[in-house]
Amino acid sequence: MTAGDLERLADLIADRLTDRPPAPPRIVGAADLAAIFGVSRDAIYEHADDLGALRIGGALRFDVADAIERARTTATPPPAPPAVTTRRRRSRTAVELLPIRTERTR
**What's the predicted TM-score (pTM) here?**
0.51
Question: Structural domain tally of the chain?
Answer: 1
For residue 26, pLDDT beyond 70: yes
Candidate from 8-17, 39-48, 92-101 with smallest mean pLDDT: 92-101
Contact (Cβ atoms closer than 8 angstroms) between residue 64 and residue 31: no
Res 90: pLDDT = 67
Nearest to 61 by CA among 95, 26, 105, 21: 26
CATH number at residue 43: 1.10.10.10
Render pLDDT for 94-106 as a digit per residue (tens, 0 to 9): 777 777 877 765 5
Expressed as residue numbers, the domain containing 54 is: 24-75
Nearest to 58 by CA among 29, 21, 93: 29
Whether 52 is in a domain gets the answer yes
Q: Residue 14: which H helix or E strand, with range?
A: helix 3-19
